[in-house]
Amino acid sequence: MKVLALILSTSLLYFSVLQLSRAADTISAAQSITSTNTLVSSGQSFELGLFSAGNSEAWYLGIWYKNFPTIVVWVANRENPVADSHGSLKLSKNGSLVLLDQMNNTIWSSTSSQVAEDPVAQLLENGNLVVREKDKTDSESYIWESFNFPSDTLLPEMKVGRDFRTGLNRFLTSWKNASDPSLGEYTYGIDNLTLPQLVVAKGSKKLFRTGPWNGVQFSGTPDSGNKRVVKPIYVYDTNEFYYMYEVAESSILTRVKLSETGLAQRLVLNEGSTEWAVMYTLLNDRCDNYRECGANGICRTSKSPSCECLQGFVPKAQNEWDVLNWESGCIRQTPLDCQKEAGFLKVRNVKLPDLSEFWANTKMSVQECEAECLRNCSCVAYASSDIPNGGSGCLMWFGDLIDMQEFLEEDVEQDIHIKMPFSELGGTGKKDKRVILISVISAVSVLPLLALLCWCILLKKRGRNVSTSTGSRSIKEDWELPLFDFKTIATATNNFSHTNKLGEGGFGPVYKANLTREEFIAVKRLSKDSGQGIEEFKNEVTMIANLQHWNLVKLLGCCIEREERMLIYEYMPNKSLDCFIFDQNRKVLVNWQKRLNIIMGIARGLLYLHQDSRLRIIHRDLKSSNILLDDELNPKISDFGIARIFGRNQTEAKTKRVIGTYGYMSPEYAIDGKFSEKSDVFSFGVLLLEIVSGRKNRGFHHPDHHHSLLGHVGMVTVE
């Protein structure tokens, strides 16, 4: 048996500093900071001194949290370290900070166009090291400040962006590695002067971008859903443009760190805690990859495969898309013709395309924006640039639409309107009066036919209701499965309210329902837009009605009324496994013992399906979102919509319709459509790696290669 060992290493910071005998928060030109003392902020939150990282013999001037001395938030001499611990920081008479080595050679110095008469250096409570006149304390009088020269950490009230008056451009730069704070390969800051957006880049290559500021937030940053923690601030005027944030609650500490591998993470420390939690990581999902779906494609994390062409577009190279290579992007199915009328397709809740070819006017209304885009033959899409002010402002795109992503959050209200020929819009939009007149005359002439058609539909609907009732009786007779009426379910789910929604899969949405004050159920409702249909519904009813095991979700009944198809399950209060192992705050709730219990429970359920149940079942879609957790975090396998029954002596089957989730599929199933017990075992192996590592297989990133988590583990095992 091969064993995968996960080794966690921690880089240590060695300090040659001792606490000052007095609580100093300033130094004057007559004082200095040496290797035997530190400068401490007035509120005792931060310290400044010399440190050495890891096994390195180089020493640096830095600022760190006093209570977390291994977390360095700023480094002065990143490219020119002191050879040993015998260094000193002095403040010159004109207001320059100077770092000297043992031989009094200048290692680093602050630069400023201003000269001070009576300067002092002060480490502020927010971690900002400033030089100011002794009798002035306001921020406008700072001669120099460390916040203007960020390292790899963005603290509250620290800015990223440009100062037009001085030409200063503030951005984060990663460390080279955990033992070397010199400039690394990755940066995090604002690009595009006309309409700024936050970007993570490796050199000149974009890796991730947020999308432009829309008056509330950068459309692609998770900060919008964390208003309890941070308050984002964006300023753009004649003097400067910048982004910064403030802490919403004083009891919370938070910072943004750009790691040496290019991951930008927001970390949070709650009051009373000693462990920093990762609130979110930018570039954490495949859809976060810049230009993941190529030109005119959109990435949807809720679907598999995640890349789709926008409506009205088709893959430019279908053979490449067939093997999940989306780099070539999409092209219009029907090219735009400036001589013919066009309309707009509204795409909701998206990260707006990149701003490579665009035009912006903040004074224009949305109605004027639409009219202008229609008049301009080169315009392909438009959107509002300022959501709070009634959706005012105008953005127009020309050429290809690059790096679009769909968001599932309801508070993301950013929409885009894509110009389309009327033929691609089903004939909707503005038409000339002649066409409207002809339509009215035609409508009047066919009214008798419409009346007859409505009568036929009513008769057909009655017949279908009779057929449905017959089908319901058949289900009840065959499986003795309880039937729920639609009215009861609608009432229990508060008429399928969004607040009762637990999630959504390929089958459709799942809702929490209250039958009584103490009795809860989960209702899975077949969506009309679902890729699955009646066959999958019948299949799941057939499967689960005949399966009884502690580690399989229990089917309580179903609802078949009119066009409705719903499955009623036992309610799982902790939702699915992915809500824990991939969530930076909740994963601490599943320690190693609980993870082992979850793994063993899934294995027992799978063994029952393959060997011990009356029906031998191949699940075909085993993944973290299909593992539900009860109130004690016991796992239950769910979603049998695409499962298949195997005969006792059957070893393999083949299908032309490969459905499931990429990243969990075995190679022989994804490529040739062949599936067996081994297919589920392969999926279980991927799931096992995700549970142990806490990383998604398809969302895994490594700076040295582009493999998934599975490929990375394979490389490590070989090495």
Instruction: Provide the annotated active-site residues.
Output: 621
Percent helix, percent strand, percent coil in the chain, to nearest 5:
25, 30, 45
Contact (CB, 8 A) for 180 and 51: no
Tokens at 428, concatenated: 């909707």
**DSSP sequence for 241-273:** EEEEEEESSTT-EEEEEE-TTS-EEEEEE-TT-
Dist CA 561 CA 469 (whole Å): 8
Half-sphere CA count of 428, side-chain side, radius 13 A: 8
Q: What order do you get walking across the sheet with 277-281 strand by strand?
A: 153-154, 253-258, 264-269, 277-281
Strands 205-212 and 119-123: unpaired
Task: Give CA 89 to chain center in angstroms.
Answer: 42
Q: Is 141 helix (H, G, I), strand (E, B) or coil?
A: helix
Dist CA 124 CA 26 (whole Å): 9
Dist CA 369 CA 711 (whole Å): 47
Q: Is 694 left (phi over 0), alpha (psi -120 to 50) or beta?
A: left
Strands 72-75 and 26-28: unpaired
Nearest alpha carbon to residue 64 among 41, 34, 89: 41
Q: Is 335 helix (H, G, I), strand (E, B) or coil?
A: coil
> What DSSP character marks residue 140?
G
Contact (CB, 8 A) for 417 and 345: yes
Tokens at 674, concatenated: 């062949």
Contact (CB, 8 A) for 119 and 28: yes
**DSSP sequence for 20-69:** -SS---EEETT-EEETT--EE-TTS-EEEEEEEETT---BEEEEEESS-T
Q: Is 305 exposed, middle or buried (0-12, 13-18, 19+ CB in 10 A)?
A: middle
Tokens at 7, concatenated: 């080794």
Crossing angle of helices 592-607/677-693, nearest 10°?
170
Dist CA 628 CA 17 (whole Å): 51
Q: What angle (nearest 5°) sits at the alpha carbon of residue 618, between those of residues 617 and 619?
A: 105
Say if residue 196 is preceded by a cis peptide, omega within 30 of 0: no
Element (H, E) at 512: strand 509-514
Give the list of residues 6+ apart from residue 600 with CB closer than 8 angstroms, or none: none
Give the list of residues 6+ apart from residue 657 with CB closer than 8 angstroms, or none: 673
Residue type (1 letter), 373: C
Tokens at 500, concatenated: 């009762």
Crossing angle of helices 677-693/709-718, nearest 10°?
80
Dist CA 179 CA 213 (whole Å): 36
Dist CA 350 CA 415 (whole Å): 6
Nearest alpha carbon to residue 214 among 329, 111, 349: 349
Dist CA 229 CA 319 (whole Å): 46
Element (H, E) at 488: helix 486-492
Strands 32-34 and 60-65: unpaired
Nearest alpha carbon to residue 202 among 281, 306, 289: 289
